[in-house]
Amino acid sequence: MTDIGELVFRRVHRAPPELLFDCMTTPEHLARFWGPTGSSTPVENIVVDLRPGGVFETTMVSDADGSTYTMRAVYVEIRRPDRLVWIETDVEGGMKTTITFTDLGDGRTEVVTHQTNVPAQYRSAEARAGFATSLDRFDAYLKQLTEGV
């Protein structure tokens, strides 16, 4: 039996849900922040077929040694601007990621990333810290977009 669980990440961003949704579904945006610190995801390594049953694929490249990590998923639900769901097809049991974008009504949006069927190696402290740096990169990119920094 596989050790699976769940993870939840919450962030509040000073941006409208439409912009956040578009950043999570457009290769040119994703290339600016996808992956933990110490990696990059070139735009040519990103496939987004934004429809239920469509492919979502990213290949991150390690800045240190050039090694790659590919994430393959299939979109399950797309409801712009408030919900995005995909299932990773290369993870045993199909890790499901649900992202909800909640407009707080004051120019801010709460983004909740809820993952289920998460294998143990993705729940390690190191993996969670890496995911958090990806969220930090997303935050910094959003500030560039919204504040022109």
The domains located in the chain, with CATH, are 4-147 (3.30.530.20)
Each as own residue / partner, the long-range contacts of residues 87-94 (CB below 8 Å, 24 or more positions apart, any chain) are: 91/117, 91/119, 91/122, 92/2, 92/119, 93/2, 93/4, 93/117, 93/119
What is residue 146's DSSP assignment?
H
Average pLDDT over residues 126-146: 92
pLDDT score at 3:
61
Tens of pLDDT, residue by residue over 88-124, are 998 777 999 999 999 999 999 999 999 999 988 889 9
Place 4 in a pLDDT band, splitting at 50, 70 and 90. confident
Q: What residues pair up with 41 in beta bridges, in sequence order?
A: none
d(C-alpha 75, C-alpha 73), whole Å: 7
The answer to whether 134 and 49 are in contact (CB under 8 A) is: no
Place 1 in a pLDDT band, splitting at 50, 70 and 90. very low
| Two structure tokens written together for 14 | 């000073």
Average pLDDT over residues 65-84: 97
pLDDT score at 93:
79
pLDDT > 70? residue 39 = yes
Question: How do strand 39-40 and strand 55-62 relate by DSSP bridges?
Answer: antiparallel
On average, the pLDDT of the chain sits at 93
0.85 exceeded by pTM: yes
pLDDT > 90? residue 78 = yes
